[in-house]
Amino acid sequence: MDIVSIGECMIEMFCEGSLSESRTFTKTFAGDAMNMLVAASRLGAKTGFITHVGNDPFKSFLLDAWTAEGIDLTCATPLDRNNGLYFISLLPGGEREFTYYRAGSAASCLSPDDIDPAYIGRFKFVYASGISQAISPSSRAAVKKAFEIACAQGVRTVFDPNLRLRLWSIEDARQALEEILPFTDILLPGAPDEIEQFLGVRDPEAAIRIVQDRGIETVAVKCGSEGVALGAEGKITCVPAYRPETVVDTSGAGDAFNGGFLYGLSTGMTPVEAARLGTVIAGLKVRGRGAVFSLPRREEVFERMR
């Protein structure tokens, strides 16, 4: 197995125009931990998801959709709670409007007791994000336990800070990052705002040096339309963004990069090659609506790579 992700997947309802005025919504699913998995799975990675699934009318829709993406659900266990739900619309000028209903969701009840060391040991990479930590104290503890187990078993750990100040304070986010960094092999932050909040710098290369001085081997700083600054194998490389013909929705583009990057590493690509793959899948994703709905398939990604 290649990549296992820990976190929450919600029902996504997206529409055109404002949420208050729209009459029609498209139902799909999304969540940073799942967005990354689908991106990697569509490229050919063997993936798994550690979460809880709510016992509500959306349960079968989620399980069927994840299974259709080829994701192993051994540790996606049911819980008598609701699944998280959010609404998103794209407004003129590229602005996005979000409304979330996720408090007390099934996935937020994940705890250290749900982390199976034997399952973790089956994978090359264990992935989590700041959102996986932020949704509840028990989920934060579950992420830490999973990373500790992975380190003990020689499984590489990957963390995306993915700062969301709607979920918690910057002080709590910084404490949680400090808690997980000693167990992190690959860090995937965003620039410039996220690295400034966590590291006090806006320059991606400065952020890479700070993080690598902490002992983290690989750092990919995502810079949106400017591409990725990659610190790996003793050097810093600027990997340009893949720019599609049109940009419709950037939701989940960073998650798409993460999935492509980890898939590339899992197949033996160099970090630079893997980062190039990540930028292509992210660039293709932003052409359409929805964080998962518009993720490209393997054939198109590798055709564009060529």
Q: Write out the catalytic residue numbers.
A: 255
**Count, residues in the chain:** 306
Q: Is 201 helix (H, G, I), strand (E, B) or coil?
A: coil
Q: Are strands 10-16 and 26-30 parallel, antiparallel or unpaired?
A: antiparallel
Are 183 and 157 spatial neighbours (Cβ–Cβ below 8 Å)?
yes
| Residue corresponding to tokens 């990725």 | 228
Give CA angle at 31 (157, 101), nearest 5°. 135
Burial (CB count within 10 angstroms: exposed 0-12, middle 13-18, buried 19+), residue 121: middle
Secondary structure of residue 173 in the 3-state scheme: helix
From the CB of residue 217, how many other CB atoms can be counted at a distance below 10 Å?
16
CB 4 within 8 A of CB 142: no
